[in-house]
Protein backbone atom coordinates (compact mmCIF):
# COMPACT_ATOMS: atom_id res chain seq x y z
CA UNK A 1 0.00 0.00 0.00
CA UNK A 2 1.33 3.42 -0.96
CA UNK A 3 1.64 6.01 1.79
CA UNK A 4 -0.82 8.89 1.40
CA UNK A 5 0.58 12.34 0.80
CA UNK A 6 -0.24 14.87 3.53
CA UNK A 7 -1.35 18.19 2.07
CA UNK A 8 -2.20 21.18 4.20
CA UNK A 9 -5.18 22.90 2.53
CA UNK A 10 -5.60 26.59 3.30
CA UNK A 11 -8.52 28.69 2.13
CA UNK A 12 -7.80 32.41 1.95
CA UNK A 13 -11.45 33.09 2.67
CA UNK A 14 -12.80 33.16 6.20
CA UNK A 15 -16.36 32.61 4.91
CA UNK A 16 -17.52 29.09 5.79
CA UNK A 17 -19.39 28.55 2.50
CA UNK A 18 -16.90 30.23 0.20
CA UNK A 19 -16.14 28.97 -3.29
CA UNK A 20 -12.58 28.42 -2.14
CA UNK A 21 -13.64 26.07 0.66
CA UNK A 22 -15.89 24.20 -1.77
CA UNK A 23 -13.07 23.93 -4.31
CA UNK A 24 -10.63 22.53 -1.71
CA UNK A 25 -13.22 19.98 -0.60
CA UNK A 26 -13.82 18.96 -4.24
CA UNK A 27 -10.08 18.45 -4.70
CA UNK A 28 -9.89 16.42 -1.48
CA UNK A 29 -12.70 14.20 -2.76
CA UNK A 30 -11.05 13.72 -6.17
CA UNK A 31 -7.73 12.69 -4.60
CA UNK A 32 -8.95 10.83 -1.52
CA UNK A 33 -7.17 7.61 -2.56
CA UNK A 34 -3.71 9.20 -2.58
CA UNK A 35 -3.97 12.34 -0.46
CA UNK A 36 -4.69 13.04 3.17
CA UNK A 37 -6.05 16.61 2.99
CA UNK A 38 -5.62 18.46 6.28
CA UNK A 39 -7.68 21.64 6.40
CA UNK A 40 -6.30 24.62 8.30
CA UNK A 41 -9.33 26.20 9.95
CA UNK A 42 -7.53 28.74 12.16
CA UNK A 43 -6.92 31.59 9.74
CA UNK A 44 -9.26 34.02 11.52
CA UNK A 45 -7.86 33.08 14.94
CA UNK A 46 -4.31 34.20 14.17
CA UNK A 47 -3.45 37.51 15.82
CA UNK A 48 -2.15 40.40 13.73
CA UNK A 49 1.47 39.79 12.80
CA UNK A 50 3.90 41.58 15.07
CA UNK A 51 7.63 41.15 14.38
CA UNK A 52 8.29 41.63 18.12
CA UNK A 53 6.39 38.40 18.82
CA UNK A 54 8.23 36.12 16.40
CA UNK A 55 10.49 34.55 19.05
CA UNK A 56 7.70 33.61 21.46
CA UNK A 57 4.46 33.49 19.47
CA UNK A 58 1.12 32.39 20.88
CA UNK A 59 -0.26 28.86 20.53
CA UNK A 60 -2.29 29.56 17.36
CA UNK A 61 0.83 30.76 15.55
CA UNK A 62 2.84 27.77 16.75
CA UNK A 63 0.09 25.42 15.54
CA UNK A 64 0.01 27.14 12.12
CA UNK A 65 3.77 26.82 11.73
CA UNK A 66 3.85 23.21 12.89
CA UNK A 67 1.06 22.23 10.47
CA UNK A 68 3.06 23.66 7.56
CA UNK A 69 6.24 21.92 8.74
CA UNK A 70 4.46 18.57 9.11
CA UNK A 71 2.80 18.67 5.67
CA UNK A 72 4.35 17.20 2.54
CA UNK A 73 2.97 20.18 0.62
CA UNK A 74 0.71 23.22 1.01
CA UNK A 75 -2.28 23.98 -1.20
CA UNK A 76 -3.51 27.57 -1.01
CA UNK A 77 -6.86 28.45 -2.52
CA UNK A 78 -7.89 32.06 -2.20
CA UNK A 79 -10.20 34.75 -3.47
CA UNK A 80 -9.07 38.24 -4.35
CA UNK A 81 -10.33 41.10 -2.19
CA UNK A 82 -10.16 44.65 -3.60
CA UNK A 83 -7.48 43.59 -6.10
CA UNK A 84 -5.34 42.13 -3.31
CA UNK A 85 -4.63 39.17 -1.07
CA UNK A 86 -7.16 38.65 1.72
CA UNK A 87 -5.74 40.18 4.89
CA UNK A 88 -6.15 37.05 7.03
CA UNK A 89 -4.15 34.94 4.55
CA UNK A 90 -1.39 37.53 4.17
CA UNK A 91 -1.22 37.82 7.95
CA UNK A 92 -0.81 34.04 8.29
CA UNK A 93 1.98 33.98 5.72
CA UNK A 94 3.71 36.89 7.46
CA UNK A 95 3.93 34.76 10.62
CA UNK A 96 6.22 32.37 8.70
CA UNK A 97 8.66 34.89 7.24
CA UNK A 98 11.30 34.62 9.98
CA UNK A 99 10.92 30.87 10.53
CA UNK A 100 11.06 29.54 6.96
CA UNK A 101 8.32 26.89 7.08
CA UNK A 102 7.50 27.58 3.42
CA UNK A 103 11.12 27.51 2.28
CA UNK A 104 11.35 24.83 -0.45
CA UNK A 105 8.04 23.30 0.74
CA UNK A 106 6.09 22.24 -2.37
CA UNK A 107 3.32 24.84 -2.58
CA UNK A 108 0.45 25.16 -5.05
CA UNK A 109 -1.57 28.35 -5.44
CA UNK A 110 -5.10 28.54 -6.78
CA UNK A 111 -6.75 31.93 -6.95
CA UNK A 112 -10.47 31.43 -7.44
CA UNK A 113 -12.38 34.70 -7.62
CA UNK A 114 -14.38 36.93 -9.91
CA UNK A 115 -11.26 38.41 -11.51
CA UNK A 116 -8.32 37.39 -9.33
CA UNK A 117 -5.42 38.61 -11.46
CA UNK A 118 -4.11 41.26 -9.09
CA UNK A 119 -4.38 39.22 -5.88
CA UNK A 120 -2.90 36.20 -7.65
CA UNK A 121 0.18 38.11 -8.83
CA UNK A 122 0.64 39.72 -5.43
CA UNK A 123 0.42 36.43 -3.52
CA UNK A 124 2.63 34.69 -6.06
CA UNK A 125 5.30 37.35 -5.47
CA UNK A 126 5.03 36.89 -1.69
CA UNK A 127 5.33 33.11 -2.01
CA UNK A 128 8.39 33.46 -4.25
CA UNK A 129 9.94 35.83 -1.72
CA UNK A 130 9.56 33.29 1.10
CA UNK A 131 10.93 30.60 -1.23
CA UNK A 132 7.81 28.43 -1.40
CA UNK A 133 8.84 25.40 -3.42
CA UNK A 134 7.84 25.14 -7.09
CA UNK A 135 5.09 27.76 -6.74
CA UNK A 136 5.96 29.40 -10.08
CA UNK A 137 4.99 26.21 -11.92
CA UNK A 138 2.19 25.21 -9.51
CA UNK A 139 -0.33 27.98 -9.94
CA UNK A 140 -3.81 28.35 -11.34
CA UNK A 141 -6.13 31.33 -11.76
CA UNK A 142 -9.83 30.47 -11.93
CA UNK A 143 -11.83 33.53 -12.92
CA UNK A 144 -15.59 33.80 -12.39
CA UNK A 145 -15.40 30.86 -10.00
CA UNK A 146 -19.05 31.19 -8.94
CA UNK A 147 -20.10 30.01 -12.42
CA UNK A 148 -17.78 26.98 -12.31
CA UNK A 149 -18.47 25.34 -8.95
CA UNK A 150 -21.88 24.19 -7.77
CA UNK A 151 -23.19 24.77 -4.25
CA UNK A 152 -22.38 21.15 -3.39
CA UNK A 153 -18.73 21.68 -4.39
CA UNK A 154 -18.87 19.92 -7.74
CA UNK A 155 -16.66 21.50 -10.37
CA UNK A 156 -19.14 21.98 -13.20
CA UNK A 157 -16.89 23.57 -15.81
CA UNK A 158 -14.96 20.96 -17.84
CA UNK A 159 -12.00 23.27 -18.56
CA UNK A 160 -11.67 24.18 -14.87
CA UNK A 161 -11.87 20.54 -13.83
CA UNK A 162 -9.16 19.65 -16.32
CA UNK A 163 -6.94 22.55 -15.17
CA UNK A 164 -7.36 21.59 -11.50
CA UNK A 165 -6.46 17.96 -12.24
CA UNK A 166 -3.41 19.04 -14.25
CA UNK A 167 -2.24 21.31 -11.43
CA UNK A 168 -2.80 18.66 -8.76
CA UNK A 169 -1.02 15.97 -10.76
CA UNK A 170 2.03 18.25 -11.16
CA UNK A 171 1.82 19.17 -7.45
CA UNK A 172 1.77 15.53 -6.34
CA UNK A 173 4.69 14.75 -8.64
CA UNK A 174 6.74 17.62 -7.14
CA UNK A 175 5.94 16.39 -3.63
CA UNK A 176 7.08 12.87 -4.52
CA UNK A 177 10.28 14.23 -6.08
CA UNK A 178 10.87 16.28 -2.92
CA UNK A 179 10.57 13.15 -0.77
CA UNK A 180 13.64 11.46 -2.22
pLDDT for residue 55 is more than 90:
no
Q: How far apart are the first and last CA of the chain?
A: 18
Instruction: Render pLDDT for 60-80 as a digit per residue (tens, 0 to 9).
Output: 999 999 999 999 999 999 999
R_g over Cα of the chain:
15
Residue 43 pairs in a beta bridge with none
**CATH 3.30.465.10 is the classification of domain 5-179:** no
User: 46-51: which pairs have CB atoms within 8 A and are 24 or more residues apart?
Assistant: 46/88, 46/91, 46/92, 46/95, 48/91, 49/91, 49/94, 49/95, 51/98
**Confidence category of residue 127, pLDDT binned at 50, 70, 90:** very high
Instruction: Render pLDDT for 6-24 as a digit per residue (tens, 0 to 9).
Output: 999 999 999 988 999 999 9
Query: Is the whole model's pTM more than 0.75, yes or no?
Result: yes
**What per-residue confidence (pLDDT) applies to 84?**
93
Residue 44 pairs in a beta bridge with none
Instruction: Render pLDDT for 141-153 as a digit per residue (tens, 0 to 9).
Output: 999 999 999 988 8
Distance separating alpha carbons of residues 151 and 113, to the nearest angstrom? 15
Amino acid sequence: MTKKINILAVSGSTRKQSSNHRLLKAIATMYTASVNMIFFEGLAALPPFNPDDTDAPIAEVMQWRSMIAAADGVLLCTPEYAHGVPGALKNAIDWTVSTNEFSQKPTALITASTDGRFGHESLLETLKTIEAGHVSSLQLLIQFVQTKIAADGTITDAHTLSAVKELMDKFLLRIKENSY
